[in-house]
Amino acid sequence: MDILIKNGTFVSPSEKKVADILISDGLIQKVHENIESKHARIIDASGMFVFAGGIDPHVHMHLPTSAGFSADDFYTGSKAALFGGTTSFIDFVTPTKGQSLIEALNSRIKDAECSLVDYSFHISPVEWRNTTEQEIAECVKRGFPSFKVYMAYKSSVGLNDDVLQKVIDAVARAGGMVIVHAEMGDEIELLRNKLYNDGKTEPLYHPLSRPSYTESEAVKRIIEMADKANCPLYIVHVSSKESLIHIENAQKNGQKVYAETCPQYLLLNDSVYKGSFEQTAKYVLSPPIRKNEDSDALWQAIFEGAVQTVGTDHCPFSFKQKENGRNDFRIIPNGAGGVEHRLALLYTYGVLKNRININQFIDLTSTQPAKIFGFNPQKSGIAVGCDADVVIWNPKPKGTISSKTHHQNTDLNIYEGIETIGTPEIVIKGGVVVVESGALVNSTQKGKLLKRFI
Ligand code: URP
Ligand code: ZN
Ligand code: ZN
């Protein structure tokens, strides 16, 4: 059925104006004042903002770890995403050692078929094989041009510098982009083992084993490596003030370096690690939550454009899974959920606190991820011919985040008790109303696999 959204305030990175929007056949057909239609469902959006559905560039659904899979699969995680106004996300393909990137990609595509939002994948080479270069080129041709490398987690997916450089060179030759988890794996390994061997076993020691220089030095190093190969670089979950200095310098020098941060680094501080295991284990995620001065620097970098996106790094676990590391912080599975809260948190603590304006809010949560990762023209916003992924945002309702009421499949929430203002009143995905007044009203329309070209 056609949908006509009337009287809403349409917002994009460059505009904020009252306009009507006509949707038909899953696409935006018209954006104009005073549109009329005899056949469409009319939605009165007076007093609401209307903007493009969120694109989360960084989620880990159904991620295999030694504590079991991350708690959300593609169905539960995508449902939570829709409740929060996110209509597309990018997850990861992580092969096992010995497995080809292509085989791992094909199997991950199957895992994601139950997703309710549109999805794509970054591909993670976890070793160098004599077919890796060819596989990278094939992934790019198939529409998966972004390759995630880990400088940490050396015992599982992390790469040593020689392999890292080979991957970066191959990605550059194939016309792709490198995505990086930048932390000094070897240094962290030494620090965490020393702490543990000194009897320091609680979650409090997680951040102490990953001080901010272990991130910023890795950021500096990977920027140099990408520069050498002339390869575009996207640094995920930037958490520290020092990292921003290297990123800003590279950008000033004209290097193609993009940066992402996440709500946890903008809103929380390291006091979360004080308390019992029950209180603190959920904050074991990497990089760790840092100091207020880091959050302030990140907000500033967002405002000035040095950080282009806010992703969530959604990777929830249950308390039972976190309990694996009750006596050893090193084996607590790293990660936390957040895909559902990204828009509400950024709206409340960014827009309403005047740290960013509403146009930047759209840019960070949808327009930039689409642009950087090659979702365009399909996902370039609310414009004629684009996918009709639309959020009708009610700026008034107050809420309090809680694991008791969220839709993420975990009993933990790192934003527990945090208050929000504003919520998606209606979410339209591919031209169909999927969330309305706090309920999922369509769970049959599945998301589609998105091919990307950068
Ligand atoms: O702690 C985190 N961030 N877990 C998810 C995997 C990653 O490092 O991005
Ligand atoms: Zn990471
Ligand atoms: Zn991640």
440: left (phi over 0), alpha (psi -120 to 50) or beta: beta
> How many angstroms separate the alpha carbon of residue 226 from the centre of ligand 2?
18
Q: Residue 353: pLDDT band by 50, 70, 90 thresholds?
A: very high
> How many angstroms separate the alpha carbon of residue 336 from the centre of ligand 3?
10
* Best probe residue, ligand 1, of 157, 181, 313 (max atoms within 8 Å of C-beta): 313
Cis amide prior to 377 (ω within 30 degrees): yes
Q: Say which amino acid occupies 227.
A: D
> Residues 157-180: what's their mean pLDDT?
98
The half-sphere exposure of 229 on its side-chain side, counting CA atoms within 13 A, is 24
> How many angstroms separate the alpha carbon of residue 92 from the centre of ligand 3?
9
C-alpha to C-alpha distance for 70 and 392, rounded to whole angstroms: 30
Q: Element (H or E) spanning 396, and its range?
A: strand 390-400
Mean pLDDT (the chain) is 98
* Best probe residue, ligand 1, of 264, 329, 334, 339 (max atoms within 8 Å of C-beta): 334
Nearest CA to ligand 1 atom 9: 313
Nearest CA to ligand 1 atom 4: 335
C-alpha to C-alpha distance for 314 and 264, rounded to whole angstroms: 10
* Best probe residue, ligand 1, of 153, 260, 286 (max atoms within 8 Å of C-beta): 286
pLDDT digits (tens, 9 = 90+) for 290-303: 999 999 999 999 99
439 DSSP β-pair partners: 436
> How many angstroms separate the alpha carbon of residue 313 from the centre of ligand 3?
4
pLDDT digits (tens, 9 = 90+) for 184-234: 999 999 999 999 999 999 999 999 999 999 999 999 999 999 999 999 999
Q: Which atom of ligand 1 is nearest to the CA of 150?
A: 8
Predicted local distance difference test score (pLDDT) of residue 174: 98
- The whole-angstrom distance between residue 448's C-alpha and the CA centroid of its chain comes to 18
> How many angstroms separate the alpha carbon of residue 59 from the centre of ligand 3?
6
C-alpha closest to that of 332 among 282, 262, 272? 282
C-alpha to C-alpha distance for 451 and 448, rounded to whole angstroms: 10
* Best probe residue, ligand 1, of 237, 238, 239, 268 (max atoms within 8 Å of C-beta): 237
pLDDT digits (tens, 9 = 90+) for 102-145: 999 999 999 999 999 999 999 999 999 999 999 999 999 999 99
pLDDT digits (tens, 9 = 90+) for 236-277: 999 999 999 999 999 999 999 999 999 999 999 999 999 999
> Residues 428-448: what's their mean pLDDT?
97
> How many angstroms separate the alpha carbon of residue 186 from the centre of ligand 2?
16
C-alpha to C-alpha distance for 403 and 415, rounded to whole angstroms: 9
Q: 184 CB less than 6 Å from ligand 1?
A: no
Predicted local distance difference test score (pLDDT) of residue 111: 98
pLDDT digits (tens, 9 = 90+) for 19-57: 999 999 999 999 999 999 999 999 999 999 999 999 999
> How many angstroms separate the alpha carbon of residue 16 from the centre of ligand 3?
33
> How many angstroms separate the alpha carbon of residue 184 from the centre of ligand 3?
16
Relative to beta strand 390-400, strand 49-52 is: antiparallel
C-alpha to C-alpha distance for 111 and 105, rounded to whole angstroms: 10
Predicted local distance difference test score (pLDDT) of residue 228: 98
**375 touches 450 (CB < 8 A):** yes
Q: Residue 380: pLDDT band by 50, 70, 90 thresholds?
A: very high
Q: 148 CB less than 6 Å from ligand 1?
A: no
pLDDT digits (tens, 9 = 90+) for 82-102: 999 999 999 999 999 999 999
Q: 315 CB less than 6 Å from ligand 1?
A: yes
C-alpha to C-alpha distance for 278 and 293, rounded to whole angstroms: 27
pLDDT digits (tens, 9 = 90+) for 5-20: 999 999 999 999 999 9
> Residues 412-419: what's their mean pLDDT?
98
C-alpha to C-alpha distance for 452 and 56, rounded to whole angstroms: 15
42 DSSP β-pair partners: 4
Q: 285 CB less than 6 Å from ligand 1?
A: yes
C-alpha closest to that of 394 among 429, 425, 440, 436? 425
* Best probe residue, ligand 1, of 181, 262, 282, 285 (max atoms within 8 Å of C-beta): 285
Predicted local distance difference test score (pLDDT) of residue 254: 98
First CA to last CA distance, the chain: 33
Q: Which residues of 370-400 are buried (b: 16+ CB within 10 A; e: fewer)?
A: bbbbbbbebbbbbeeebbbbbbbbbbeeeee
Predicted local distance difference test score (pLDDT) of residue 36: 97
Q: 334 CB less than 6 Å from ligand 1?
A: yes
> How many angstroms separate the alpha carbon of residue 443 from the centre of ligand 1?
28
> Residues 370-381: what's their mean pLDDT?
97
